[in-house]
A and B are shown apart, each in its own frame.
Chain A
């Protein structure tokens, strides 16, 4: 093995390690819902290459209102899917779309884009 081969091999392996850690194991941005006086749990979510925040904690049995603001035109994020709540919504670009639901059971429920690439989760406690 010559020097460039050693450098490329080490850099490649390091890059692989980084990709695996970054996409699968690094810490996620978590947010808890803000409850209003009326008892609705509200969360604002920005959609731009992903969901921020992408982990949302809410309480069970109280209505939840998620405001998705899609801050891009990219077609990847134009659809929102919450299969556990039978919700499919078109998210128009640069607009806020409200999604209301009532979590009855505790658990972690994934929400994704139409193709399941962008992912977030609703943690019901």
Chain B
């Protein structure tokens, strides 16, 4: 027999380089009983496979110590929610610091501004010593520069060293130039006067710009935290503890991190389900809205799956844990949404290209603006004019709006989608979905429920419907055939009294028989009755023919050797399908159906839901071909499917939508996953996509138009014609507003709610 190995993870301390890791690794590998040791320098962790008969965690630790390093006791792994909480705390702290810097800048700017405007009152000016006033203003501006604005200068310098330029570079160069000019005018005014230039100072410009930019940053930070609110809310849903049943039957509350696979967990009414599992005993209604967006609670009984973070409403039940930690449905949803938020939408390509060259280009434009004003303006005013316009160009050109336009909209909408049970794999899928003009639906499981249900129960003349249903249900309860399950569900839904059946016998390929109330009962296809020598009265035959004409499966029933009735069974259309299809059609989208069924059944279902074009008798292998066929017609196709055999078609389509409880393979192949088995999700996904793309386009328009108009005005292009110059302070205000307006526009997506039919 293979000896069982154990795996131990050790936290190594003291490693300073990659070769340290290999020392530890060698030392561990040489330890008797160790089969494999891998040391990761970056994570400072060693993963060791060893034979517990020959080695132990203590001997492993000893080997690490012998190599000259230490082992720290493992702290429990922090969950994603904890990590997020830590990041949030750090951001909250940064917000407080930023606010303090903003108030210092604002407080001082409020004093600096009127003092700088004293020249507007000549009477006042006469009483004040200009030089002393300038020194006073310098003293007031220094804290704004060194405390409130320090980050801009350090960041610009750090960026410069890395040949990277960002928004801080523009602010630092702009305010820095205004300050240095003012400093020179304060310290050596004579130099300016000798050259016929009034030694003007721009301390008010410097301080106000810094205060305004900080205000913009403050608003931006606050709005940005709201863009990821949906995903944070999802992460926060996880239960903190679970009531685990110990082997001795005792129930103990344990932290969720300690719940293991195969544990049995008790859930009482009103409690959250701790993790994913299968119900062992008990039944209840569970609110799964947080995962599927479905507001109605779902009935659950023994054998049904339950998911972590869902809310148990009425009953109490016990379940066996099948998934923990990162494998749970909630964690996978969070991961999927996070991945989508990390992806780039193709629409952003242009903005990305512009962002990459934006700041250096603006700096070049600003320098040229300075040169042109210096060369063309009257000699006595050329230096101040060149400086003011140079600063205005730098300050108005904010790359923030451009950088925020797409990601913020994607962040809000992917989170919003998850809230409604629509999981978007990446930004590209979201963008593709808005171009869709044809939706191809796989009939079974999407339009229909995908499971047979009794549609007609027709007793023969003289039969008591209630008694017949009792007898039929008694036989079918013992059968495992899917059609039998449909009959039992039908009987249960009518609260039929349960009676017992004896001598049950399944007749292969034909049906079943048993004895109920001392009478033989037969249920099955026509051949079952025919072989039993039972003939059908004309009325029953006519009923059966009608059902067959509607493409339904017919079950024949005989009691005591007499034909007693027929049952029509069909895969039923979901209640929401017709309305959702109508809504898609009203959005200008053609809805096409495909099915493996015969043309008669296909026509029947298509007619029921208002579809005019359909493909019947499509083999599973031919589904992708049908998608190609539609694409060849120049259509942008969204394929909706739920099974493994839909995966190639989902991948072939311009955008694939895998439907609720879809298999992992289908989800892998799809760009969008709908958590709920309901076509309404397709409508929601497409509407959300359309709204998001509209928001992104508006954002990009604002960002581009703002910079393309703002920069020439700041450079003084309007001055020769209208005498208009843009004050750097106004430029700062406009800049602060630009990113805030883009963010606010993205946040409007938070009010998205799917149109209900």
Contact A34–B166 (Cβ < 8 Å): no
B164 cross-chain contacts in A, Cβ below 8 A = 23, 49-50, 54, 117-119
Interface positions, chain A 76-99, Cβ under 8 Å from B, are 76, 78, 81-90, 92-93, 96, 98
Most buried by B among A50, A82, A119: A50
Contact A28–B352 (Cβ < 8 Å): no
B404 cross-chain contacts in A, Cβ below 8 A = 115
Contact B359–A117 (Cβ < 8 Å): yes
Interface positions, chain A 1-39, Cβ under 8 Å from B, are 1-2, 4-5, 8-9, 12-13, 15-16, 19-20, 22-24, 26, 28, 34, 36-38
B374 cross-chain contacts in A, Cβ below 8 A = 4-5, 8-9
B407 cross-chain contacts in A, Cβ below 8 A = 81, 114
B332 cross-chain contacts in A, Cβ below 8 A = none
Contact B90–A12 (Cβ < 8 Å): no
B357 sits at the interface (CB 8 A): yes
Given that A19-B364, A36-B39, A98-B43 are known contacts, is A76 also in contact with B168, CB under 8 Å in the complex?
yes
B370 cross-chain contacts in A, Cβ below 8 A = 8, 12
Smallest beta-carbon distance B400→chain A, Å: 6
B107 cross-chain contacts in A, Cβ below 8 A = none
Given that A49-B158, A82-B342, A117-B164 are known contacts, is A74 also in contact with B151, CB under 8 Å in the complex?
yes
Q: Which of B18, B38, B166, B379 contacts A117 (CB 8 A)?
A: B166
Q: Which of A13, A34, A38, A52 contacts B38 (CB 8 A)?
A: A38
A40 sits at the interface (CB 8 A): yes
Smallest beta-carbon distance B391→chain A, Å: 15
Instruction: Report Cα–Cα, A116/B367, bound state, in Å.
Output: 24
Please name the residue on chain B nearest to A8 by beta carbon. B374
Smallest beta-carbon distance B197→chain A, Å: 11
Q: Which of B87, B338, B363 contacts A88 (CB 8 A)?
A: B338
Contact A20–B360 (Cβ < 8 Å): yes
Contact B403–A74 (Cβ < 8 Å): no
A54 cross-chain contacts in B, Cβ below 8 A = 162, 164
Contact A72–B158 (Cβ < 8 Å): yes
A40 cross-chain contacts in B, Cβ below 8 A = 40
Contact A42–B18 (Cβ < 8 Å): yes
A8 cross-chain contacts in B, Cβ below 8 A = 370-371, 374-375, 386
Contact B158–A50 (Cβ < 8 Å): yes
B674 sits at the interface (CB 8 A): no
Given that A54-B162, A117-B165 are known contacts, is A24 also in contact with B344, CB under 8 Å in the complex?
no
A65 sits at the interface (CB 8 A): yes
Contact A116–B356 (Cβ < 8 Å): yes
Smallest beta-carbon distance A20→chain B, Å: 7
A67 sits at the interface (CB 8 A): yes
A2 cross-chain contacts in B, Cβ below 8 A = 379
Given that A8-B374, A23-B360, A88-B338 are known contacts, is A65 also in contact with B40, CB under 8 Å in the complex?
yes
Instruction: Report Cα–Cα, A20/B404, bound state, in Å.
Output: 25
Judged by DSSP, the binding face of B is helix
Given that A23-B165, A88-B342 are known contacts, is A1 also in contact with B375, CB under 8 Å in the complex?
yes
Given that A26-B163, A49-B164, A74-B154 are known contacts, is A115 also in contact with B403, CB under 8 Å in the complex?
yes
B339 sits at the interface (CB 8 A): yes
B158 cross-chain contacts in A, Cβ below 8 A = 48-50, 72, 74
Interface positions, chain A 35-68, Cβ under 8 Å from B, are 36-38, 40, 42, 44, 48-52, 54, 65, 67
B381 sits at the interface (CB 8 A): no
Contact A116–B87 (Cβ < 8 Å): no
Contact B39–A50 (Cβ < 8 Å): no
Instruction: Report Cα–Cα, A72/B359, bound state, in Å.
Output: 21
B343 cross-chain contacts in A, Cβ below 8 A = 83, 86
Most buried by A among B158, B165, B338, B363: B158
Instruction: Report Cα–Cα, A30/B700, bound state, in Å.
Output: 33
Instruction: Report Cα–Cα, A24/B363, bound state, in Å.
Output: 13
Q: Which of B352, B364, B386 contacts A20 (CB 8 A)?
A: B364
Q: Which of B87, B156, B162 contacts A92 (CB 8 A)?
A: B87
B479 sits at the interface (CB 8 A): no
Contact B42–A92 (Cβ < 8 Å): no
Smallest beta-carbon distance B393→chain A, Å: 13
Smallest beta-carbon distance B575→chain A, Å: 36
Instruction: Report Cα–Cα, A114/B743, bound state, in Å.
Output: 14
A87 cross-chain contacts in B, Cβ below 8 A = 339, 342
B368 sits at the interface (CB 8 A): yes
B161 sits at the interface (CB 8 A): yes
B359 cross-chain contacts in A, Cβ below 8 A = 23, 117
Most buried by A among B40, B221, B379, B399: B40
Interface positions, chain B 155-195, Cβ under 8 Å from A, are 155-168
B41 sits at the interface (CB 8 A): yes
Smallest beta-carbon distance A77→chain B, Å: 8
Q: Which of B25, B86, B94, B166 contacts A73 (CB 8 A)?
A: B94
Contact A22–B163 (Cβ < 8 Å): yes
Smallest beta-carbon distance B153→chain A, Å: 11
B341 sits at the interface (CB 8 A): yes
Given that A38-B39, A65-B42 are known contacts, is A49 also in contact with B338, CB under 8 Å in the complex?
no
Interface positions, chain B 287-342, Cβ under 8 Å from A, are 338-342
Smallest beta-carbon distance A22→chain B, Å: 6
Instruction: Report Cα–Cα, A96/B374, bound state, in Å.
Output: 48
Contact A12–B367 (Cβ < 8 Å): yes
Contact B161–A49 (Cβ < 8 Å): yes
Fill in one digit per residue for B9-45: 1 if any A CB lies within 8 Å of its CB, else 0: 0000000001001100100000000000011111100
Contact A16–B165 (Cβ < 8 Å): no
Given that A76-B166, A86-B426 are known contacts, is A49 also in contact with B157, CB under 8 Å in the complex?
yes
Contact B338–A115 (Cβ < 8 Å): no
Please name the residue on chain A nearest to B87 by beta carbon. A90
B676 sits at the interface (CB 8 A): no
Contact A74–B168 (Cβ < 8 Å): yes
Contact A50–B38 (Cβ < 8 Å): no
By Cβ-Cβ distance, the 7 closest A-B pairs, closest first, are A49-B158, A50-B162, A115-B403, A88-B342, A83-B344, A12-B371, A50-B164
**Residues in B lying within 8 Å of A, measured CB to CB:** 18, 21-22, 25, 38-43, 86-87, 90-91, 94, 151, 154-168, 217, 221, 338-344, 351-352, 355-360, 363-364, 367-368, 370-371, 374-375, 379, 386, 399-400, 402-404, 407, 426
**Residues in A lying within 8 Å of B, measured CB to CB:** 1-2, 4-5, 8-9, 12-13, 15-16, 19-20, 22-24, 26, 28, 34, 36-38, 40, 42, 44, 48-52, 54, 65, 67, 72-76, 78, 81-90, 92-93, 96, 98, 113-119
25 contacts between A and B (CB under 8 A): A9-B371, A12-B371, A16-B368, A20-B364, A22-B360, A23-B359, A36-B39, A49-B157, A49-B162, A51-B162, A54-B164, A65-B42, A74-B155, A74-B168, A76-B155, A83-B344, A86-B342, A89-B342, A93-B90, A93-B94, A98-B42, A115-B167, A115-B403, A117-B355, A117-B359
Task: A1-B375, A40-B40, A49-B161 given; name 14 further pairs at CB < 8 Å.
Answer: A9-B371, A16-B368, A26-B163, A28-B163, A34-B18, A37-B25, A38-B40, A49-B164, A50-B163, A50-B164, A75-B217, A76-B167, A84-B344, A87-B339
